[in-house]
Amino acid sequence: MTGKIEDLLRRVEEFHPRTAAELEEFRIRILGKKGELTALMEEFKTVAPELKRELGQKLNNLKQTATQRINLLRSKMQEEAAANAAKIDDPTRPGSAGSLGSRHPISLVKNQIVEIFSRLGYTVADGPEIEDDWHVFSALNFPPEHPARDMQDTFFIEKNPDILLRTHTSSIQVRTMERQKPPIRVICPGRVFRNEAISYRAHCIFHQIEGLYIDEGVSFGDLKQSLLYFAKELFGEQTAIRMRPSYFPFTEPSAEVDVSCNLCGGKGCPVCKGTGWLEILGCGMVDPNVLESCGIDPLKYSGFAFGMGIERIAMLKYGVGDLRLYFENDVRFLHQFDSALD
Ligand code: PHE
């Protein structure tokens, strides 16, 4: 019986199947119910007791070796089959082009605005989205009872001391003034957060871009001329602007700026609601209190600031009627901006 066991072991070790079918046939022949190993097990029952120990070990070893070898051969064959399937069957076949992404319209508009102001000497400044009360409200001259501090408008992360999601990019102004000495000329794009119900014209997350210019002798005339230049560069040479008095805690005087409606040439249409004008930004001369809070001498320096919503500008530029489209990232929407300049 030892001879039979050794013979079978040798055949197992030397077995090299060419096909999976051959391997399976071999497995059945050796390990199957009517296989050679099973027959040897039967024979084992009849051997003399003094031989049982040695032969039992040999049989066990044979069974283990055979099972392991067959499993190994099987997994090798499967790997080879997978590798072959992945091989290019026809190297002359034209490849499939990966589709290129396109820039998001918000990024397109942001880049355009940054580019226009960089021509006027502005550099980009950045700041955190999670802010404290000082940088979003207190340093910007918001009185303690101002409604913007209310839970209704602001997402608070912690109360006392207040940690919150910034509600406007004006916080970057504060950080810049704390860090830098005048002259300061920065443009600050970023995401802002307000606790608003989501609709076609409002979202709880949107993008603003804010500008700040501080130096000796900066006047409201400088502000007006800078914004006129900006409007003409962004919307076209024929664009006019008008300023309406307004109020922000951090600027005095403050104004809201409208651009002439490009769609109707100022005659009045549904987009400008018949007025011929579209509101695009808020601005004003930086309040002396704000300069002082940020360590800048208001007797020596003056400056202006302006801020606008990027979604709003993008809506006007691309004629998008629903703000929510900017956040859904439906590729059918995004691909329409493939050819837009960035
Ligand atoms: N921060 C203002 C807003 O969120 C915009 C603004 C910026 C107004 C700078 C004036 C000056 O509405």
Residue 179 has pLDDT above 70, yes or no: yes
Pairing of strands 241-248, 251-260: antiparallel
**16 against 101, higher pLDDT:** 16
Dihedral sign of CA atoms 138, 140, 143, 146 in order: negative
Q: Are 182 and 166 in contact (CB under 8 A)?
A: no
Q: Which residues have a Cβ under 8 Å from the Cβ of 159 and sit 6 or more positions away?
A: none
Q: Are 126 and 190 in contact (CB under 8 A)?
A: yes
Residue 96 has pLDDT above 60, yes or no: yes
Q: 45 by DSSP, 3-state: which?
A: coil
Query: For ligand 1, what atom is nearest to the CA of residue 192?
Result: 4
pLDDT digits 0-9 by tens, 102-140: 889 999 999 999 999 999 999 999 999 999 999 999 999
Identify the burial level of 167 via C-beta atoms within 10 angstroms of its C-beta, where 0-12 means exposed, 13-18 middle and 19 or more buried. Answer: buried
Q: What is the pLDDT of residue 339?
A: 64
The residue extents of the domains of the chain are 2-84, 105-337
Average pLDDT for residues 274-283, to the nearest whole number? Answer: 92
Q: What is the CATH number of domain 105-337?
A: 3.30.930.10
Q: 150 by DSSP, 3-state: which?
A: coil
Query: For ligand 1, what atom is nearest to the CA of residue 308?
Result: 5
Q: What is the pLDDT of residue 55?
A: 86
Average pLDDT for residues 64-86, to the nearest whole number? Answer: 86
Q: What is the pLDDT of residue 201?
A: 78
Q: What is the pLDDT of residue 178?
A: 95
Look-up of token digits 């979604």: 311
- The pLDDT-based confidence of 88 (bands split at 50, 70, 90) is low
Residue 341 has pLDDT above 60, yes or no: no
Query: For ligand 1, what atom is nearest to the CA of residue 211?
Result: 9
Q: Which residues pair with 190 in a beta bridge?
A: 208
How far, in Å, from the CA of 67 to the mean position of ligand 1? 76
Please provide the average confidence, as pLDDT, over all residues in the chain.
Answer: 90
* Ligand 1 shell residues, CB under 6 Å: 168, 170, 210, 248, 251, 282-284, 305-307
How far, in Å, from the CA of 167 to the mean position of ligand 1? 10
Dihedral sign of CA atoms 109, 115, 121, 124 in order: positive
Average pLDDT for residues 252-277, to the nearest whole number? Answer: 88
Give the whole-angstrom CA distance, residue 252 versus residue 289: 10
Residue 150 has pLDDT above 80, yes or no: no
- The pLDDT-based confidence of 77 (bands split at 50, 70, 90) is confident
Q: 232 by DSSP, 3-state: which?
A: helix
- Pocket-testing residue among 122, 154, 169, 170, ligand 1, by greatest number of atoms within 8 A of Cβ: 170
